[in-house]
Structure 1
């Protein structure tokens, strides 16, 4: 028996089919998961329904991880433009720019360029527009980012189990392109971007919009993000549970186990 099929919990179904029929029925892994789910093995532990009907995910810092550190990228791209600041200086400048009060309602308006110009200039002391554009376009490419280990498999399995999936992110209009290039865009039932909806976490409206679009009540969903205020406080304010990435959950397999009630806490 294929190991993947055994994990789906469908031994009776497998034993009833001849080898040739087995190859035809299970010609792909996703097809196999659909058969297993129909047999009662794809909706949580021992056939139980998922503990949560909806999963909301933060993007940057949670679902999307940087391929290399920001300071390293800023320094490398900046050398042809005369940027000589050390990476530690760039890192601290980046943090200052992000933590400073933003005078407008949203940090990210449309493509987010006004905000990011301030960040790049504060971090590097370089205001060259060509340099800024190179940095900006670099982070608009999927290869500047990566998914955490196991994220793709977990999202597929949760979707097959009937869990509704949404991204809820304080980001600009580049996000949809990034998710598409990382081959996860089609897995989500909703993608909620602050620059598109006019609300930024921790505003309750952005969470409500996501829940409305996936059709799940706050009490039956969980949000995962990496920011104590924007993610946890914002979600909790509307009765939405939140697990902090890196603290409450550290891997996507752990997320899957908790949502499918294999290891309820």
Structure 2
């Protein structure tokens, strides 16, 4: 999540084409290419038109179970937090939008960054309060999957589609995916705090696809044979398009996981 985009924070997100026009030929594969891909895989009569699916985590695959400001306020009452929820959300966005002096916002477990965000949002610097908030979001109960996500992932995996998470997140992501019973669905889980790059940097997408940093899990699929789904115009769409990777914006191009499934498991040429 880029420093200038507060709305791209995983805790804020709930359920540009023109600069990349030169890539349109690479991103719109011919009907013949799609049929060749589809013919090479199984899937019970619905062969995949793409060999790989990359998914953003926060705001796409992972949705917060309840509003952030409500959570901060309810936990904060035990620590003397009196700031109204509207003010908490304003402070949260302000902190997330502020320039971050380091290369990565999320390094390791992300505590240094989130400590600043929580303090700015609530005006509370109590270490115990921060730790309780931080630990709350480290458990699957704080998050939910979109309707049909687990079923779609299973169907795509059974059809031979390689699956990856590509996320600007800290190391808590691994546990969250496990808690929500989807970690075993993915061939690769690429977390910015571990690989040293944040979207929209091309390197993080290349790592997931298998074009860089071979010490990490990869799906081994070319960019022209994969699609990325995320909810941020810059981090997801611009970043993916920059390496010739198609991107569907969550909430705009696709709104449900069943729609993602139907666009991938088809032999029809949408062009």
Q: Does 1:113 align with 2:118?
A: no
Cα deviation code 1:31-59 (max 9, x no counterpart): xxxxxxxxx99527xx3531110000000
Larger Rg: 1 or 2? 1
**1:218–1:239: 8 Å Cα contact kept in structure 2?**
yes
Residue of structure 2 aligned with 1:254, choices 252, 259, 268: 259
Q: Which residue of structure 1 lines up, in the alignment, with residue 238 of structure 2? A: 233
| Larger proportion of helix | 1
Q: Which runs of 4+ in 1 moved over 2 A?
A: 40-44, 262-265
Deviation at 1:99, TM superposition (A): 1.4
Residue of structure 2 aligned with 1:167, choices 138, 141, 165: 165
Q: Does 1:243 align with 2:248?
A: yes
Q: Does 1:94 align with 2:104?
A: no
TM-score, normalised relative to structure 1: 0.82
Q: Which residue of structure 2 lines up, in the alignment, with residue 221 of structure 1? A: 226
SS at match of 1:167: strand
Aligned mates of 1:51, 1:111 — CA distance in 2: 37
Where structure 2 has 5 or more consecutive residues not aligned to the other structure, the ranges are: 1-39, 211-217
Root-mean-square deviation (Å): 1.6
Deviation at 1:248, TM superposition (A): 0.6
Higher RCO structure, 1 or 2 (CA under 8 Å, sep 6+): 2
TM-score, normalised relative to structure 2: 0.80
SS at match of 2:169: coil
Deviation at 1:122, TM superposition (A): 0.9
Q: Which residue of structure 1 lines up, in the alignment, with residue 69 of structure 2? A: 71
Cα deviation code 1:165-187 (max 9, x no counterpart): 00000000110011001000000
Q: Which residue of structure 2 lines up, in the alignment, with residue 43 of structure 1? A: 43
Where structure 1 has 5 or more consecutive residues not aligned to the other structure, the ranges are: 1-39
Aligned mates of 1:203, 1:172 — CA distance in 2: 16
Q: Which residue of structure 2 lines up, in the alignment, with residue 198 of structure 1? A: 196
**1:74–1:135: 8 Å Cα contact kept in structure 2?**
yes
